[in-house]
Amino acid sequence: MNKLRVGVMRGGLGSEYYVSLQTGGKVIEALSRELYEVHDILITNAGEWHIDGVPTTPVKLFQKVDVIFNALHGEFGEDGKVQKILDTFNMPYTGSTVIPSAIGMNKDLAKKHFASAGISVPLGVVAERGEDVDDVITRVVGAEIRAPFVVKPLSGGSSVGLSLAKNDRELILAVERALGYSEKAIIEEYIKGREVTVGVVDASNGMGAYTTPPIEVLLPEGTLFDYDKKYKSTTHPVGPARLQDSERRALESAALRAHLHLGVRHYATYDFILTEKGPVLLEANTLPGLTQTSLFPKSLALHGLELPEFLEYVLGLALQKK
């Protein structure tokens, strides 16, 4: 019996290149060699495609694999662009399709989408490169957003370019930093509460989805779960969220509603701040990291799913095109 040929796509064009290498590496390591013929597909920062270390083109590459496990993050891999290429070649792949990926990657569009489904989101305004600083501050004040401010690139993930600004001077610097990663930045109100991530996985019958155990990030008040804490620190405490039943139900309900309303496929995570009034959705991650320090694998483990078993399940969904 021929083994299924799985191409693990990693690397990419944006600032999350090295995170994607780690995610893809974990996937390659975890895939069963008894079930799969595994191929390492690398897309370099320069946009060059390789399979198992050999330069290639998408046309040639897709003749050598049966399905793609998309381990890309951020620009090109998570914003609908690579999905469009895969659809053009009718290649099955894991993760969301073009439109949910594109919306999920744009934090302002995603928030509007979630708000239309009745999900609480932070107040925010968008700043663009070249925009007058005074105009930005005027719009922030007009939106009734008060310090401290959360500033991040409009597109992107892994908390790259994320800053907390405590006053207008820091706000200007934070916007400049975020605009170094994206043509637009989003400035949001700081929501006080507990940071909780909820995973969602599609059901195998194509009908609905289920949540995985919420994970709480334990941070001192007034700090953010930024890139360094996610991927460079091994000391930040994370673990099963300490929740009352009503809090758990509210988080799970909001995550499922966001997932189904956006049309996300296969699996995703949703980052919340749990306040006294309920959960506030910060953003969706349509291709969450699967690295050693990523939250989603920890949630899967609490659900009783180890990575090899989960990968087999998701590849099955991709082949069914559910």
Catalytic residue ranges: 16, 158, 294
Pair 195, 311: CB distance under 8 Å? no
Contact 280, 122 (CB under 8 A): yes
The structure tokens listed for 303 are 């659900």
Q: Which two tokens stand for residue 220?
A: 């001192």
Flag whether 134 is marked binding. no
Burial of 57 per CB tally in 10 Å (0-12, 13-18, 19+):
exposed
Pairing of strands 49-51, 36-43: antiparallel
Residue 285 counted as an annotated binding residue: yes
Angle at 158 between CA 260 and CA 49, to 5 degrees: 90
Four-residue CA torsion sign, 36, 39, 42, 47: negative
Is 271 labelled as part of a ligand binding site? Answer: yes
Taking the C-alpha atoms of residue 298 and residue 308, their distance in angstroms, rounded to an integer, is: 14
Binding residues: 271, 283, 285
Binding residues for Mg(2+): 271, 283, 285
